[in-house]
Structures are given as C-alpha cells and as structure tokens.
Amino acid sequence: MRGNIHRDEAGQEVEHRMSNVMYGTENVPYSFSPFSSETFYYSDSVCWGMSQSSAEVIARGAEAVLTRGTWHSRPVVVKDRIPKTYRKPELDTRLREARTRSESQLMAHARRAGVRTPLIYDIDMGKCIIVMEFIEGIIAKMVLQELPNRKELAMAIGRQVGKLHRADIVHGDLTTSNIIFQGQEPCFIDFGLGERSQEMEKKGVDMHLLKEALSSAHSEHSELYHAVACGYVDTYPEGERVLALVEEIEGRGRYT
C-alpha cells in the first residue's frame, strides 16, 4: 500500500505512511519519514520482514556492526550497536540508546536541511538497531581520486556540508569515507558521532577533519579543499569564520 508521496528539500520523493504491521504477536504502528523525530515509530523487533538469506556483514566498527540485506523487499543496511561488556550494563544501554536516537534524529534533520542521507525505515530502540536505505554508489574517497570532474564534486560536498552547518548539524566524523556519490550527488552517512550545535569551534573541527581526510588520500588535496571551501561558503553565511577556525586548529596542532 502506497502512502502520501511528497518531495523533501533535496528534491527526493519521500513516502509517509501509517499501517499496522505484525511484529511477533503485536500490532505495532509502522512509519518512516525523514522530516522529524516525532514521526518515528519504534518497533519491538526489526527481525520481522528481514530476509535472513540475503544478510551480509559489510563492516565491523568499534561501535556497531553493519549488515546489508533486504527488509520488506527493500535493499537496506542494518546498523546494530553492539553491547560493550567493559561497561556497566545500565550505562551501556543508556549510551547505546542515546546514540541510536541521536543518529536517527540527526539524519532526519539533515534531510530536512536539504542534505541527502539514507532513509530510515525502522528503529528498534530495545536492541539499538537502525534499518536504513542501502545507498548504491561510490565513496567520495574513490571518486575524488579517479573522476576528471573531481573538483566540481568536491564543491558539491562543500555545499552540502554548508547546509549541515547552517542547520547547526555537526557530523562528527566528516571524512571522504562517510560520503557516497550517486552520480553527481553526495550522500552523507554515519552520523553516530554527530550532534546539534551552534558552536563554531565544532564546525571548524568538522571541516578540519575533512581537510585532513583529503590531505591523507589525495595528491591534489589543496585544490580539492579549495573547491570544498568554495562550495561551503556558497551555502553557509558563516563559512568564512569557520574556515578561519580551521587554520587556527591546524596551528594548535603544529605547536603541541
């Protein structure tokens, strides 16, 4: 059953629907929307609807395991924040729940600001699991090494980061491995370390991380960062202040 279809500020079709979907023995409201945290409905288990035969672990990090599969016939990535045995169980549960909630809300806020992120299909707060859209594309780290129009693509990245910061969204791990290109459009992933903040310093750290990522992986890093910076100030009125902070942050590093 198709629900209401509309377009977000990134120009993408978004479906918002409400139906009763059976999870185990309970009828649980099922809904997804990138627009606000209030529209998320947390299910008791995301296992219902997952095709176990198609599941494939694609990454294991310090915080989570990422599994690619299908969910209600949709290609998805399941992000599972695994328990940490070295933490007290109560503290561990609170931290994982808070980070799961924060990440899902940041992704929603980012889309509301016109920045492409994976759609969220379901959240299991009890298990700290997010089911999200699988993004078919190439990570920016590879795109910026290989494609002849890499400077234009770098500028596109800068414009989107500017939109994030204009909305007071700090990504927290802004590297070229956390940006996926679908054609000419960058999609931002992994907001697990992100937060809402008006602090220029934190936005400066975001841009510094991106500059460091370019420096470590790309021979034309100066030109690419210049293109990113040009795109950034195009969409963020306070961009010049943040770029000045990037220079200041670099200076601190040289003298410590």
Catalytic residues: 173
* CA gap 23, 253 in Å, rounded: 51
* CA gap 157, 34 in Å, rounded: 20
Q: 3-state class of 232 per DSSP? A: helix
Tell me the C-alpha to C-alpha distance, in Å, between residue 10 and each of 6, 36, 181, 230: 11, 15, 14, 20
Nearest to 46 by CA among 69, 62, 23, 20: 23
DSSP state of 50: B
Q: 3-state class of 100 per DSSP? A: helix
Q: 3-state class of 230 per DSSP? A: helix
Count the alpha carbons within 13 Å of 163 in the hemisphere toward its beta carbon.
Answer: 21
AA identity, residue 7: R
Strand order from edge to edge, sheet including 64-71: 56-60, 64-71, 74-81, 129-133, 120-124
Give the β-pairing of 4-7 and 13-16: antiparallel
Range list of H helices, 50-175 = 89-112, 140-146, 150-166
